[in-house]
Amino acid sequence: MKIIYTWILARPNKLFYIRCNDAKIFLKSIIKSVTLIEAAGGLVVNPAGNFLFIYRNDKWDLPKGKIEKDEKTKEAAVREVEEECGIKVSKLKEKICKTYHVYINRGEVVLKKTHWFNMECKGKEKLKPQKEEGITDVRWFEKEHIEPIIDNTFPSILDVLHKEKLATNKLMPH
């Protein structure tokens, strides 16, 4: 993974494929070769049918965070959404998917596996971005007006939006 990721970083905005006989076995070998961090988060909808997004590191994102020791995945997803956005999740629904993304942390290649869930929020709480996590904005978006998200987010977030039929094109714009 360290070799592949170095190659990827040197070629921004390029798509590539890795040919292998068994994708699951290959993914397991990748996971063994790097630090794996498990996280959980949610796609939150309110009674008006609007979706909750956060703005961090100059990109739109979905609220998520690391699963703590001895914490269940679903509990972590709800906790992170509530902490990062200042809301109360009223209903945890079905799992959407898992995504994987890679980043560098203290010079080390890290693989983050995120478990995504559908959630509902009933309240009219004032949204409160968790500034200490680098979140500068939290906002509700109508389903028909999420183009700014699609134009400025991460591929893994597009995977979640695509799965929920909120985005029709999986590929990043450019």
Prediction pTM value: 0.88
pLDDT at 172 (0 to 100): 46
Residue 170 has pLDDT above 60, yes or no: no
Does residue 71 lie in a domain region? yes
Confidence category of residue 30, pLDDT binned at 50, 70, 90: confident
Does residue 51 lie in a domain region? yes
Does residue 147 lie in a domain region? yes
Task: Quick: pLDDT tens for 41-65.
Answer: 999 999 999 999 999 999 999 999 9
Task: Quick: pLDDT tens for 128-155.
Answer: 999 999 999 999 999 999 988 999 999 8
Does residue 15 lie in a domain region? no
Q: What does the chain come to in residues?
A: 174
Task: Quick: pLDDT tens for 67-100.
Answer: 999 999 999 999 999 999 999 999 999 999 999 9
Does residue 146 lie in a domain region? yes
- Amino acid identity at 8: I
Using a 10 angstrom Cβ sphere, with 0-12 exposed, 13-18 middle and 19 or more buried, the burial of residue 144 is exposed
- As beta bridge partners, residue 65 has 40
Domain carrying residue 127 = 35-163
pLDDT at 6 (0 to 100): 82
Domain count, the chain: 1
Does residue 134 lie in a domain region? yes
Does residue 143 lie in a domain region? yes
Does residue 74 lie in a domain region? yes
Residue 60's domain is classified under what CATH number?
Answer: 3.90.79.10
Rounded to an integer, what distance in angstroms lies between the CA atom of residue 71 and that of residue 66? Answer: 10
pLDDT at 11 (0 to 100): 86
| DSSP three-state, residue 52 | strand
Highest mean pLDDT among 5-19, 65-79, 100-114, 120-134: 65-79
In 3D space, the residue among 15, 80, 171 whose CA is nearest the CA of residue 162 turns out to be: 171
